[in-house]
């Protein structure tokens, strides 16, 4: 994973985020928006930020547990790569931070990149399953008007988009779960390994030397990646780690929802219960799964306005609350992530040992 162009990438990502923020709010009367923002009781931002940042401490504990069957690492060696990855997700397109985390592990902890990537996938499986379950519960609790449409920041959102985002997240989760079982169990993994090692035979018309090169350059590395990737799912064999991961996931989303609720206590016009703000959080999470600019600027706000309109909150109040909440959820992550990037030495080009050796799977 190359980081030589990190400064340029961050600058471009930040510029795109600023442009997206401008587009999102260019048609909103700045006087009304500034008046609403100035009316917020900013005392509540402090506990809201604390609750939001605490979720990343729990995420680091969860990732540390998931990595335990592969290699025990300290909390700080899990926390700093995690924060660096989330920071990059905030400022760069395509969720590139998900690849940064295993790359940092490979460089600093000598854990193979493919193994680290698999543990990140495991985290996403836990989050995805939990969000889908909450989404189903939310749909049973609230009724969304099928004719509800929100135009904001160049995005036009309706119930169909929400349903599509839900199906996409559920489908991605199902694929990840199915793939994890395929690579974890020895019989299916061995079958895949046999297919990989037979790749040179596709070139039946080539000479022996060429087939050997294909085997050495493609089949053997691919088989090593498959083995390393399967090691990332070793927690399946450990009920204790599965339980810890589940409890951490529950705590992450409960605290995130609590952060939404704490901020709402200081925002005029946002008189929503904890349960309703949990519904707002879930709907926003589903909408930002759609393609968007770095930092989800515009789409996050459009999703928040859509969710709050379900509960009768005016677009002006919803826009002000959602913008401030967006900053509360992201700015501390970016600041902490920049510090973590310095600690982890992210500017170093790439690891010279991307595969390494770890204990084999079952």
**DSSP characters for 147-175?**
T-EEEETTEEEEHHHHHHHHHHHHHHHHH
- Residue 67 — φ and ψ, nearest 5°? -80, -15
**DSSP characters for 170-218?**
HHHHHHHHHHHHHHHSHHHHHHHHHHHHTGGGG-TTS-HHHHHHHIIII
CA distances from 258 to 268, 284, 330, 341 (A): 17, 15, 16, 28
Task: Encode the chain (362 residues) as per-residue pLDDT tens digits.
Answer: 444 455 555 565 556 555 655 555 555 555 556 777 788 898 999 999 999 999 999 999 999 999 999 889 999 999 999 999 998 888 877 777 888 899 998 888 889 998 898 899 889 889 988 888 888 887 777 888 778 888 776 778 888 878 777 777 777 777 777 777 777 677 787 878 788 888 888 877 778 888 788 887 888 888 777 787 777 777 778 889 999 999 999 999 999 999 999 999 999 999 999 999 999 999 999 888 777 677 787 888 889 999 999 999 988 889 889 989 998 998 899 899 989 988 877 653 433 443 333 333 33
| Rounded distance between C-alpha atoms, residue 137 and residue 149, angstroms | 22
Task: Give yes or no for a contact between 305 and 318, defined as CB atoms under 8 angstroms apart.
Answer: yes
**DSSP characters for 9-55?**
HHHHHHHHHHHHHHHHHTTS-HHHHHHHHHTS-GGGHHHHHHHHHHH
| Rounded distance between C-alpha atoms, residue 47 and residue 44, angstroms | 6
β partners of residue 158: 149
Q: Quote the radius of gyration of the chain (alpha carbons, Å).
A: 22
Q: Which two tokens stand for residue 185?
A: 């169990």
Task: Give yes or no for a contact between 183 and 229, defined as CB atoms under 8 angstroms apart.
Answer: yes
Coil vs helix vs strand at 360:
coil
| Rounded distance between C-alpha atoms, residue 279 and residue 136, angstroms | 10
Among 318, 323, 308, 307, which residue's Cα sits nearest to residue 159?
307
β partners of residue 151: 156
Residue 328 Rama label (left phi>0; alpha psi -120 to 50; beta):
alpha
């Amino acid at each position: 994973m190359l980081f030589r162009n990190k400064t340029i990438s961050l600058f471009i990502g930040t510029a795109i985020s600023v442009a997206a923020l401008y587009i999102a709010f260019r048609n909103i009367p700045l006087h009304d928006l500034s008046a609403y923002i100035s009316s917020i009781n900013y005392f509540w931002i402090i506990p809201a930020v604390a609750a939001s940042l605490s979720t990343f401490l729990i995420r680091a504990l969860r990732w540390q547990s998931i990595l335990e069957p592969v290699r025990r690492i300290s909390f700080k060696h899990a926390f700093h790569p995690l924060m660096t990855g989330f920071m990059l997700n905030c400022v760069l397109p395509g969720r590139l931070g998900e690849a940064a985390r295993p790359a940092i592990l490979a460089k600093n902890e000598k854990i193979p990149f493919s193994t680290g990537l698999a543990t990140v996938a495991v985290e996403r499986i836990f989050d995805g399953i939990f969000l889908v379950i909450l989404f189903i519960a939310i749909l049973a609790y609230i009724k969304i008007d099928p004719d509800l449409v929100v135009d904001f920041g160049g995005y036009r959102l309706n119930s169909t988009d929400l349903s599509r985002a839900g199906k996409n997240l559920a489908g991605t989760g199902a694929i990840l779960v199915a793939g994890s079982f395929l690579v974890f169990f020895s019989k299916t993994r061995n079958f895949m390994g046999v297919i990989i090692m037979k790749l040179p035979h596709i070139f039946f018309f080539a000479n022996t030397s060429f087939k050997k090169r294909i085997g050495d350059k493609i089949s053997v590395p691919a088989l090593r990646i498959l083995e390393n990737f399967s090691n990332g799912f070793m927690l399946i064999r450990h009920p204790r780690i599965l339980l810890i991961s589940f409890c951490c996931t529950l705590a992450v989303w409960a605290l995130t929802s609590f952060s939404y609720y704490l901020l709402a206590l200081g925002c005029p016009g946002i008189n929503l219960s904890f349960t309703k703000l949990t519904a707002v959080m879930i709907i926003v999470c589903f909408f930002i799964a759609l393609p968007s600019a770095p930092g989800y600027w515009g789409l996050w706000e459009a999703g928040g306005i859509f969710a709050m309109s379900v509960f009768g909150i005016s677009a002006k109040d919803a826009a002000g609350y959602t913008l401030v909440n967006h900053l509360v959820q992201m700015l501390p992550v970016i600041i902490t992530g920049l510090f973590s990037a310095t600690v982890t030495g992210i500017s170093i080009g790439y690891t010279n040992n991307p595969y390494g050796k770890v204990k084999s799977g079952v």
